[in-house]
């Protein structure tokens, strides 16, 4: 979903990296708000969705590893929406334009 250029063994982010990072950070905010609105803990949501608490916490931060944007599987997102009792579209940020790497 995103590209990195490697120059002299140093990874350099491209513009679509920044867009993807912003997108998954907004996704994390949506997940956090939906969870808080329902009074659920991160642990409970993660367990019910079939993912680890560590993974769920990372999703709420919008990252998979420090400095690396999250890239959750569709099944994970669908499961989280079901657990949070919200439509999938309500946790996805509204504007996804510009994140396709080939555009």
pLDDT, one tens digit per residue, over 25-63 is: 999 999 999 999 999 999 999 999 999 999 999 999 999
pTM of the complete model beyond 0.85? no
Question: Domain spanning 15-91: which superfamily?
Answer: lambda repressor-like DNA-binding domains (1.10.260.40)
pLDDT at position 13 over 60 = no
Measuring CA to CA, how many Å separate 51 from each of 8, 9, 10, 98?
37, 33, 32, 29
Mean pLDDT of the chain: 86
Q: Can you tell me the distance from the alpha carbon of 101 to that of 99, in angstroms, rounded to the nearest whole number? A: 6
Q: Can you tell me the distance from the alpha carbon of 70 to that of 65, in angstroms, rounded to the nearest whole number? A: 8
Q: Report H helices in the chain.
A: 15-37, 42-49, 53-61, 74-84, 88-91
Whether the CB-CB separation of 57 and 80 falls below 8 Å is answered with: no
pLDDT at position 86 over 90 = yes
Terminal-to-terminal C-alpha distance of the chain: 11
């Amino acid at each position: 979903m995103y590209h990195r250029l490697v120059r002299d063994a140093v990874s350099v982010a491209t513009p679509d990296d920044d867009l993807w990072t912003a997108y998954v950070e907004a996704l994390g905010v949506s997940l956090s708000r939906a969870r808080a609105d329902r009074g659920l803990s991160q642990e409970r949501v993660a367990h019910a969705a079939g993912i680890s608490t560590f993974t769920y916490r990372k999703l709420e931060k919008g990252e998979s590893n420090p400095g690396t944007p999250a890239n959750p599987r569709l099944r994970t997102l669908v499961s989280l929406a079901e657990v949070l009792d919200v439509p999938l579209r309500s946790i996805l940020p509204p504007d996804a334009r510009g994140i396709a790497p080939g555009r």
